[in-house]
Structure 1
Amino acid sequence: MPAPSPGFFSAERRVIRTWTPEELAHHFTLSAGERVFLGHKGAAATLHLAALLKTFQVGGEFLDRPQAVPAAVIDVLSQQLGLSPALWAEVDWSTRTARRYRDEVAHFCGFRAFRAPDGAALIAHLTPLVADLNPDSESLRQRGRDFLRGQRLVPPTAQRFSRCLRAAVGAQEEHWMQSIQRRLSPQPVRP
């Protein structure tokens, strides 16, 4: 799976890159194995699954709505699958089927769902990396995303991810306060 492109997603989880034809071909060409994975679903379902697969591979997380996928990506995938890009209008990402597709894509890519112990591990990993007390720091967010990708974890919801970032900042702030307090506390004088 290629590394995520810097700036692939905005804070609102929208794809913000403009792709060159070469980049589209490199990142969004379906392999033979991926075509087998797509199976024999209906046309709109196949396009939906292909878009989930390729955007997850490139961005390292699932987009939350079909409008976030650039039309150029849908065009490239549609051409490869021999489908009309107009089918994209039929895609609904709020259904149980859509959630099942995300699970299938994650499994196909070797990722697993984020669970409670993973939150503790993420916080423990990020705490010593906190450089300032801003939990919305893009640097901290990227380090969190890198950790999740390295652990092959599907990123949690945006709210849960933000809670983990705030917890890491809070833990580091507490560590700094204790360190300062130890330095400022009077040391016993030894005779």
Structure 2
Amino acid sequence: MKRNWELDELIEHFTILPNEMRLIENKTGETRIGFAVLLKFFQNEARFPTHKYEVPKAVIAYIAKQIFSEPELYAQYDWTGRSITYHRTQIREFFGFREDTIEDAQAMTEWLCQHVLHHDHEFEHLKERVYRRFHEL
């Protein structure tokens, strides 16, 4: 995810819509801000952050303001417990995604070999193509 966001970009990509707010409103404290950030990150990236600090502070602050939360609470959100596992499941279901399988990985490997690897071996490009392909599927 890019690090610097202009206000108009934050509004376009990270504004919480009413149907999304219904998922958030029953949560409190660090769980509320953590869930909201995961939700909007997933919506924009079609994946979850690999670590807590992958999300730019400006994004966290913009989301926190909308849900009447303190952005500092995000640092307290537990990235290893049952809550985040449940939150990820809720978010995937909300957007109509499912967890990937071994078969998905095998199919992706075949797709990469047939359509990408013959002309591009740059890791970051490959990673972007894989995320885009999974999002399409």
5 Å-filtered alignment, 1:38-187, equals: 38-129=24-115, 130-132=117-119, 134=121, 136-151=122-137
Query: 1:4 maps to which residue?
Result: none
Deviation at 1:64, TM superposition (A): 2.3
Matched, 1:17 2:3: yes
Structure 1-normalised TM-score?
Answer: 0.66
Structure 1: stretches of 5+ with no match in the other structure: 1-7, 9-15, 152-191
2:57 partner letter: A
Q: Which deviates more from structure 2 when the two are superposed, residues 122-131 or residues 46-55? A: 122-131
Cα-Cα RMSD: 1.6
Deviation at 1:73, TM superposition (A): 0.9
Secondary structure of the equivalent of 1:118?
Answer: helix
Structure 2: stretches of 5+ with no match in the other structure: none
Q: Which has the higher contact order (CA 8 A, sep 6+)?
A: 2
Number of matched pairs: 136
Provide, for residues 64-91 of structure 1, a one-character-per-residue CA deviation record: whole Å limited to 9, x for no partner. 2222211111111111111111212211
Identity %: 29
Larger radius of gyration between Structure 1 and Structure 2? 1
Provide, for residues 68-116 of structure 1, a one-character-per-residue CA deviation record: whole Å limited to 9, x for no partner. 2111111111111111112122112111211111111111111100001
Secondary structure of the equivalent of 2:53?
Answer: helix
Structure 2-normalised TM-score?
Answer: 0.90
- 1:68 and 1:142, CA in 2 relative to 1: closer, same or farther beyond 3 A? closer
- 1:21 and 1:118, CA in 2 relative to 1: closer, same or farther beyond 3 A? same
Deviation at 1:133, TM superposition (A): 7.7
- 1:71 and 1:133, CA in 2 relative to 1: closer, same or farther beyond 3 A? closer
- Is 2:34–2:77's contact at 8 Å kept on the other side of the alignment? yes
Provide, for residues 105-152 of structure 1, a one-character-per-residue CA deviation record: whole Å limited to 9, x for no partner. 111111100001111211121111212584x5333322211111111x
